[in-house]
Homo-oligomer: A and B are copies of this chain.
Amino acid sequence: MEYEEPLFFRVMEYAAHADGDIIDMVSGNPDWGSPPALAAGLHQYADTGGREFQYPPSEGLRELREEIAQRRQVDSDQVIVTNGAGEANYLAMGRALERGAGSEVVMTDPVYPYYPGKTNMLGGDQVYVETARDGRLDPADVREVVSEETACIMATTPNNPTGAVYGEDTMRELVAIAEEHDALLVSDEVYDHFDFSGHFTSALEFDSDHRVVVNAFSKSMAITGFRVGYCVAPPDHVGPMKSRHMLTNVATTRPGQAAVLHALTETGPAYYQENRQRLAERVETFTDALDDAGAEYTKPDGGFYVLARFPDFPGTLENTFELVDEAGVAGMPGSGFGTAREDWLRFALVTPRVEAAAQRLADYFADR
């Protein structure tokens, strides 16, 4: 396995060393702050010490698993608390590939770039399905590429980078396809609190031995650095996934688990609603300004990101650096997300300055 520095680190580093004021729209780090109960929970935990500082159960603190299970209406035996969604995806993909049920992982193009990387690491092969221009995934296109070699189907909803939210029919079909081909549907739903469309449907809605749901508190509680996520796995798969979790990480960090547990029980719906509303407003503001700039874009139904395309300006790393230096806006090259959006740039709306950013882009392209 060759080491490739992740593209977004390269862009962040470039932006950090650039001259002048740069508006950072590179990575999905929420800027709106965590619920107050999160820090309070961490303070409470810091006051314990002794046995409370020692190994939690490998699969996660019992109280946290029960809290998650009650909210998701599943049995707590199905819940594993993981080192963020990153580890949860790794456990699910590892399980899918180790069964002798095929070596292929089906994923969309554009793709969240960790999926192909994890597939390589786990010895699998990538199979891509192109999505519609607006990010919609047609299950019929998935049917065309699945075979007896399909071990795993990756779905991200709300989607990074397209902003698509897969509706109930799509999710039902994806579960059905996984069942028909003895594949595991891995539904990565870390942006589930940021659905602007009202159509988000979790794969948990469909009871099946062939779907794993991945989630995390990284985005919903604005704690990407804590590394606390979870997966919900069917009875046939939860044991081997716990085993892989234990053999990889032993357990998930206990301070983070304790803080999240406290924040989950103490935080009302207003916190989540406000953040979703703020983000929806930023989408309007940013896309309105993109209209003025003559850019093409995909208006997201959910998530943090807007994909935009400017005339004669492909979304290469070089052009991304150009925008940092000349427009003062740092985005992500579309080429970082597969081949389908190489002409595009991705902007994360995790800054209050989205209007200024769009204005800077408009000014830059007007002068060009």
Q: Which residues of A contact B (CB under 8 A)?
A: 1-4, 6, 9, 27, 29-31, 33-34, 38-39, 42-43, 45-47, 49-58, 83-84, 86-87, 90, 98, 114, 117-118, 121, 123, 222-228, 239-240, 242-244, 246-256, 259
Contacts and interface: CB of A to CB of B under 8 A. Distances in A.
Contacts of A38: 53
Tell me how many chains of this kind the complex includes: 2
30 contacts: A1-B244, A2-B239, A2-B240, A3-B242, A3-B243, A6-B246, A9-B57, A29-B54, A33-B49, A33-B50, A34-B49, A42-B255, A43-B43, A46-B259, A53-B223, A53-B224, A53-B226, A83-B83, A83-B227, A86-B247, A86-B249, A87-B248, A114-B250, A118-B247, A121-B244, A225-B253, A227-B250, A227-B253, A253-B256, A255-B255
Contact of A46 (B27, B39, B239): B39
A32 to B, nearest CB: 9
Contact of A86 (B30, B49, B250): B250
A191 to B, nearest CB: 16
Contact of A54 (B45, B53, B225): B225
Q: Considering the complex of A and B, which 9 residue pairs feature the smallest CB-CB distances, nearest first? A: A3-B239, A225-B254, A42-B46, A86-B250, A253-B253, A29-B54, A3-B243, A227-B253, A83-B249
Contacts of A51: 29, 31
Given A33-B50, A226-B253, A256-B256, 10 more contacts: A1-B98, A53-B222, A83-B250, A83-B252, A90-B249, A121-B247, A226-B255, A248-B248, A253-B253, A255-B256
A65 B249 CA distance: 20
A3 B242 CA distance: 7
A47 B43 CA distance: 8
Contacts of A252: 83, 227
Highest count of chain B CB atoms <10 Å: which of A39, A86, A246, A253: A253
Contacts of A254: 225-227
Contacts of A57: 9
Nearest to A253: B253
A243 B46 contact: no
Contact of A249 (B1, B29, B227): B227
Nearest to A117: B247
A209 to B, nearest CB: 16
A84 B250 contact: yes
Contacts of A118: 247
A360 to B, nearest CB: 22
A351 B218 CA distance: 37
Contacts of A53: 34, 38, 222-226
Given A86-B248, A244-B121, A54 B33 contact: no
